[in-house]
A and B are shown apart, each in its own frame.
Chain A
Amino acid sequence: MNNSITQYFRKEMFPHIWCPGCGIGIILGAILRAIHSLGWEKDDIAMVSGIGCSSRITGYVDFNTMNTTHGRALPFATGIKMANPSLKVITVMGDGDCAAIGGNHFIHSARRNIDITAIIINNMIYGMTGGQYSPLTPTGKFGSTAPYGNIDQTFDLAALAASAGASYVSRSTIFDVNQATRFIKKALLKKGFSVVEIISDCPISFGRINQLRTPVQMLEWIKNITVPKKVWDKLSEEEKEGKFPTGEFLDIDIPEYTERYQETCNRIQ
């Protein structure tokens, strides 16, 4: 058996577009290792993305792939899944893509609990367009459109997904890629809407304007701002300021959408 994840690449698409030090490649590696460990056939996987740096992932992998419109990966994926429930459907979205322009689709995909795995690459910035602040840019941090510091509150996508009806919700970082891989695998296996948010770096568009110029500085920063859920739960509100919990927040088995739809069809036919 070929154990190299390079078997999943469309090598003729390389070189890729990502900047040196970008975390997307680390996450792509984690996704492919998780898929490989499950032994899934390439033909059975549909991977859908929206717009942005992270959405370029779909072009580089040898599945049924689709690079759609900004924020809309989930409704495109929903159409695919409903038309062919036997396909294993994965969406890859950036933080702006998923939480801003695609926020409504994210909520409603969770509400339906449709069997799609949503991987969110959270680099806390709009990277491709040059570093504008996103709904996941920490308050006080800078962006090209937040030159005096971001005054917005940060979205907690994990809490949002859990409250909206998802089956599995976790958050990891590129600093702990083994954990990220493990979470992705669990999400892929979950029958229902599963969410893995992975905090990533962007030395160019986020780092430079926030005095985190090198990938190493960014990784150290990510390590410092994230706290395992167990520790997080014991922190005071002051101690939680500027930090983000990691770990698994939700893992339940509840009725899934394509199955419920099929049950309805069976009942009335």
Chain B
Amino acid sequence: MDKNKSVKVLQGNEACVEGALLAGVRFFAGYPITPASEIAEGMAVRLPKLGGVFMQMEDEIASMAAVIGASIAGSKSMTASSGPGICLKQENIGFAAITEVPCVIVNSQRGGPSTGLPTKPSQGDVMQARWGTHGDHPMIALAPSDVNEVLHITIKAINFSEKYRTPVMLLLDEVISHMREKVNIPTREEIEIIDRKKPTVDKDNFLPFKADEDLVPPMANFGSGYRYHLTGLVHNEKGYPTSNNKEVDQLIRRLTNKVELNKKDIIIEEEYLLDDARVAIVAYGSVARAAERTVKLAREKGIKVGLLKLVTLWPFSDETINRLAGQVDLIIVPELNLGQMAREVQRAAEGKCRVIPYGRVDGELINPVEILSKIEEESK
């Protein structure tokens, strides 16, 4: 066995910590909340040893603010929370979006609304992840479905935030957060790490919000000698507030487009036995694991079922869904909410096939047999 390889049995939240540290996160600010607290606890142990910063702030709002401040000063930064805490962070997530400050927000989803079901899993925040802060804004949201994947997708989340200078939401749920599984921890050399682009022009000609061809402006860290102004107001390329229609339009469209036009790079998804499928399951997060089992059970019964597992939820994988809708007779979307992503799938399917939501909101996971039953019922 390769001595450099490390295999551990970890909880999802612990795997998230491992992934974040490997990706270079050196600042974490958070506030205690179930079921995300183990991420903060792990960071509190690990970061000071690495010369990084862990801070437990006075509230969720302050945590989000500190994360953004630290990122501007040059640290890869992250926070973690759950439903009520994510609600409180929304205003500053919008600030990070408009000022284009890289940061990752982990949401270990629990039942909602409000205090809801703190110790039970949910996928009720997928639409909040997309549209939780006000105004048109970009969003990248990733949803791993097992503990090993949590580690690797956390690294992806950090990388995307740095590459596209935008907040990235990592969507776990109570089960993924607390479940323990075998994790192969890669070495630093085995993974790709992306750092924010630095300015190449001299200080006098630096325009802090002038984007390159990829629609992303290079980023100067505070203290690096490039002095500039960051504001949550709509701003021009110099970073100064503007209400000039042309400049406003240019910024808001660019912010959205830098993610939407780079979908090919950002979308992570897996197809499982879809080639000959007549029925497709579209699933994500912990539900995707049950769905994989459903595919096997269905095929044992002679029903041609396949699975599209979405890891990237936002930007949405319209093209794949549309192609799939042209191939199968039925798409079923099992999820731990009342059809939030199913509506997106319906929209992307453009009526080419039937799309059936299957939602569960009682705090229990969806099991493989009930998805199969739903398929059998709908296929009659």
CB–CB B222/A79 < 8 A: no
Stretch from B73-81, B272-280, B316-324 contacting the other chain: B73-81
B134: min CB distance to chain A, Å:
12
A13–B229 alpha-carbon span in the complex (Å): 11
CB-contact partner of A78 in B66, B91, B233, B238, under 8 A: B66
Q: At the interface with chain A, which of B56-64, B110-118, B138-146, B250-258?
A: B56-64
Check A42 against B227 for contact (C-beta < 8 Å).
yes
Are A59 and B53 in contact, CB atoms less than 8 angstroms apart?
Answer: no
Contact of B68 with A79 in the complex, beta carbons under 8 Å: yes
Query: B231, A75: Cβ atoms under 8 Å?
Result: no
Q: Are B223 and A87 in contact (CB-based, < 8 A)?
A: yes
Question: Which chain B positions have C-beta within 8 A of A42?
Answer: 227
Which among A64, A69, A265 has the highest number of chain B CB atoms within 10 Å? A64
- B contacts with A, residue count (CB < 8 A): 43
A75-B227 contact given A46-B222, A69-B232, CB 8 Å threshold: no
Residues of chain A lying within 8 A (CB to CB) of residue B302: none
Residues of B near A1 (CB, < 8 A) are none
The answer on a CB contact under 8 Å between A87 and B73 is yes
Tell me, in angstroms, the Cα distance from A19 to B68 when the chains sit together. Answer: 32
Answer whether A67 and B229 are a contact pair too, CB < 8 Å, given A265-B51, A268-B48: yes
Contact count A vs B, C-beta below 8 Å = 136
Task: List the B residue with the shortest CB-CB distance to A67.
Answer: B231
**A261/B222 in contact, CB under 8 A:** no
CB pair A79 B227 closer than 8 Å: no
A76 touches B66 (CB 8 A): yes
Q: Identify the closest chain A residue to B203 (Cβ).
A: A43
* Given contact pairs A65-B227, A78-B62, a sample of 18 additional A-B residue pairs in the complex whose CB atoms are under 8 Å apart: A12-B238, A13-B240, A48-B69, A59-B229, A63-B227, A66-B230, A75-B58, A75-B66, A76-B66, A78-B57, A79-B65, A79-B67, A80-B72, A82-B55, A83-B75, A83-B77, A107-B58, A265-B49
Sample (22) of A-B pairs whose CB atoms are under 8 Å apart: A13-B240, A42-B227, A44-B223, A64-B227, A64-B228, A65-B228, A65-B230, A66-B229, A66-B230, A67-B231, A68-B65, A72-B62, A72-B92, A75-B62, A75-B66, A76-B65, A79-B73, A83-B26, A83-B75, A84-B221, A87-B223, A261-B48
Residues of A whose CB lies within 8 Å of any CB of B are: 10, 12-13, 42-44, 46, 48, 58-59, 62-69, 72, 74-84, 86-87, 104-105, 107-108, 261, 264-265, 268-269
